[in-house]
């Protein structure tokens, strides 16, 4: 489908979702965002749903300003995927051992590594700029600096919620490795700190929603936020790189005879800020639950833990600010899912997937998400499908 423009807004709100299916509270958030004096345009993805301040699944282009809540608190959250030389025929009938080995290598939930991971000891992981990256931690907000020890040990860990590590098979039988995670607790704390700073600034006192507080260009507060924001985005990228390297090591050990090889990794943020130029104007583009989909650029759009995911190539649609959805998007809250579904429902909906099927992950049940096929259909003018993947192993936090 092509987009629908929401009437009555101060700036264009272009929707790749059916407006009739979007929650009233999410629609109100979109209208609230459109009232900000710095905004130049808003693109709404088919997986849009209610979020803090700004909806998840929205792309907000602003001139000379940025809204931290339009980035999301898990700064730099995103996806990585890599195709392997393994095929479905190489996999054992029982995948429980493989899941256990992945969970041993990559801490999940609140767990972290006993000692910081040294990337120089990981096979094939580029380490250029590693020392410079950690050196820049000295410049982050004083309120968060004491977290460095924890941030070091959480590097290369999954977290919880909708984060996952998966082994998938595409329609041709090739095996893929895929994971979803972000900047862990350090990114969240930096985001919350700066949202608190922004709320107190005088130019934000008359906003329709105090969660939409912004930083303005050429101010010390903006400079401090940009430093911490871009550092956290880099942390998230390194976090995924280390987890993928650990994942590959597990695969090498478990499939020694097959001597697995790995193609180039596809990686994309979906909670981040980017400096981009449209119609001759320099803009700060925030993607909260959205990926960049410039012409020819590869991306990853995951479904829920029982359905499947897509590797895509961007079509460079500037009406969407070169963007696409970041996944299926929730259609009910975690609490609603826990009340409505049982462990039996979870087991039924994740049949054929080696994964947790206990009460602790019922809120991630496939039925709590929008159908991924519908989401993909609604953005045919934003991306083209390169490969469809189906998970056979899924590790949750």
Residues annotated as part of the active site: 326
DSSP 8-state assignment for residue 90: G
b/e string for 137-158 if b means 16 or more Cβ within 10 A? beebeeebeebeeebbbbbbbb
**Strands 215-216 and 65-66, how do they pair?**
antiparallel
User: Which residue(s) pair with 49 in the sheet?
Assistant: 56
CB 241, CB 130: distance < 8 Å: no
Which tokens go with 272? 């981040």
Start-to-end C-alpha separation, the chain: 35
Stated as kind and residue range, the H or E segment containing 49 is strand 39-49
b/e string for 368-379 if b means 16 or more Cβ within 10 A? bbbebeebbebb
User: Which residue(s) pair with 43 in the sheet?
Assistant: 14, 59
Tell me how far apart the alpha carbons of residues 388 and 396 are, in angstroms, rounded to a whole number.
21
Contacts 24+ apart (CB under 8 A), 220-223: 221/197, 222/65, 222/66
Tell me how far apart the alpha carbons of residues 321 and 290 are, in angstroms, rounded to a whole number.
11
In which residue are the tokens 């943020």 written? 269
CB 5, CB 16: distance < 8 Å: no
Triad 95, 116, 103: Cα angle to 5°: 10
Distance set, CA 223 to CA 80, 139, 204 (Å): 29, 11, 17
Q: For the chain, how many residues are written?
A: 397
Q: Where are the alpha helices (DSSP H) in 155-280?
A: 184-199, 220-254
Q: Provide the strand spans (E) within 233-358.
A: 266-269, 271-278, 281-288, 290-292, 298-302, 309-314, 323-325, 354-355
Q: CA-CA-CA-CA torsion for 316, 318, 322, 325, nearest 10 degrees?
A: -110
């Amino acid at each position: 489908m092509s987009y629908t423009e929401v009437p009555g807004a101060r700036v264009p709100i272009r929707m790749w979702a059916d407006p009739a299916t979007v929650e009233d509270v999410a629609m109100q958030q979109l209208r609230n965002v459109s009232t900000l004096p710095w905004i130049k345009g808003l693109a709404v993805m088919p997986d849009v749903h209610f979020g803090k301040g700004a909806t998840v699944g929205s792309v907000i282009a602003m001139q000379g300003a940025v809204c931290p809540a339009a980035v999301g608190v898990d700064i730099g959250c995103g996806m990585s995927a890599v195709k392997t030389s393994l095929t479905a025929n190489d996999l054992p009938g029982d995948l429980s051992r493989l899941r256990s080995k992945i969970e041993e290598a990559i801490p999940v939930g609140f767990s972290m590594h006993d000692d910081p991971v040294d990337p120089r000891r990981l096979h094939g992981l580029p380490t250029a700029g590693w020392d410079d990256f950690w050196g820049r931690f000295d410049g982050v907000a004083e309120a968060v600096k004491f977290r460095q020890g924890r941030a070091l040990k959480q590097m290369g860990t999954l977290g919880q919620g909708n984060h996952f590590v998966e082994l998938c098979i595409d329609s041709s039988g090739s095996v893929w490795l895929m994971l979803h995670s972000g900047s862990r607790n350090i990114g969240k704390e930096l985001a919350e700190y700066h949202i608190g700073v922004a709320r107190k600034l005088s130019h934000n006192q008359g906003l329709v929603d105090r969660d939409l507080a912004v930083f303005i260009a050429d101010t010390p507060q903006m400079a401090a936020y940009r430093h911490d924001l871009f550092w956290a985005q880099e942390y998230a990228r390194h976090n995924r790189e280390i987890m993928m390297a650990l994942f590959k090591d597990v695969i090498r050990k478990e499939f020694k005879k097959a001597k697995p090889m790995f193609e180039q990794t596809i990686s994309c943020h979906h909670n981040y800020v980017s400096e981009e130029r449209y119609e001759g104007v320099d803009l700060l583009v925030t993607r909260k639950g959205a990926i960049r989909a410039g012409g020819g650029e590869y991306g990853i759009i995951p479904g829920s833990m029982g359905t499947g995911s897509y590797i895509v190539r961007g079509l460079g649609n500037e009406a969407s600010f070169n963007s696409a959805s970041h996944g299926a998007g929730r259609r009910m809250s975690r609490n609603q899912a826990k009340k409505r579904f049982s462990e039996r429902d979870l087991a039924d909906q994740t049949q054929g997937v080696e994964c947790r099927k206990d009460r602790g992950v019922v809120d991630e049940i496939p039925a709590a998400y929008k159908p991924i096929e519908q989401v993909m259909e609604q953005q045919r003018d934003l991306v083209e499908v390169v490969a469809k993947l189906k998970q056979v192993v899924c590790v949750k936090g």
